[in-house]
Amino acid sequence: MSRDSVVAKFLYDQAIAEEIYPENPDGESLAILNMLADIRKLGYDYHYFADIKFRKIKDPAIMKLLLQYYSKIDSIVIKGDILRKIDPKRFPEVFDLALAEYNEQSPLDKNYFSDFQDILSKSAKSEKQISLLLSLMDNPDNYASSYMIRQKLAKTVPESYRKYSFLYSKGVLLPATLKEFAKYGDSESVEVLKYAAAITDSDIKELCDNQSYKLCVTMQEYWKKRCTKENIQNEAKSILIKNS
């Protein structure tokens, strides 16, 4: 058994041990139990929500059932787990459901609980869906807190997305953000990188007062360690050298 399989089994067993339902379930608990019962009617041995979360689901009949019960679920974590199991090619409504949940989240929740932006970035296929993701970037807090969506747009529609990179470049000046400029060879990109390569203490102070930047730094201890003047300078210099 591979290490990944061992870890997966441990997490599965732990999830089952923690999955306890009241003697007289109602609301979300009842919805989950009924959903599992309906999946068993399809011929699958599912007795815990952990079976949905940890098993690979290929049968569109199960996916259809998950969608039917989705509106009866309150937990944002369980909603994310459900949407991850539904093929957006077969059920394009996954995008709309994830977008609705994403829009309900606070900027910090979008950072800490990134399931919905991950689902959005993976399920966006049509021009309309890509345009909707672009429109989210009009809000600088969304830009700051949605790294996965930014990566999707930078790859899918780089020219349309680029304006947001420039618009918020000084407000969300992180090493990861600088890498978004590496793919652009125009003078504006070079100017942003040059600014970062020579960033000063006063620039950093102004940056730290920016709300969008605070969202990013609050997101992870990782960024707190990396977002120093020296690291920003070195990242920008490295990109400039590679692109020269």
Q: What is the C-alpha separation between 87 and 126, in angstroms, rounded?
A: 15
Of the two residues 171 and 67, the one the predictor is more confident about is: 67
DSSP letter at 10 equals H
Of the two residues 230 and 221, the one the predictor is more confident about is: 230
Residue 92 has pLDDT above 90, yes or no: yes
Q: What is the C-alpha separation between 98 and 87, in angstroms, rounded?
A: 13
Q: What is the C-alpha separation between 208 and 172, in angstroms, rounded?
A: 10
pTM over 0.85, yes/no: no
Q: How far is CA 38 from the centre of its chain?
A: 30
Residue 35 has pLDDT above 60, yes or no: yes
Q: What is the C-alpha separation between 122 and 77, in angstroms, rounded?
A: 18
Q: What is the C-alpha separation between 111 and 96, in angstroms, rounded?
A: 20
Residue 176 has pLDDT above 60, yes or no: no
Residue 171 has pLDDT above 60, yes or no: no
Q: What is the C-alpha separation between 104 and 18, in angstroms, rounded?
A: 28
**Confidence class for position 2, pLDDT limits 50, 70, 90:** very low
Own/partner contacts of 106-110, CB < 8 Å, gap of 24 or more, are: 107/141, 107/142, 107/144, 107/145, 107/215, 108/145, 108/215, 108/218, 108/219, 110/142, 110/145, 110/146
Segment 119-170, tens digit of pLDDT: 999 999 899 999 999 898 888 777 767 778 887 887 888 777 776 665 565 5
The pLDDT of 183-209, averaged and rounded, is 69
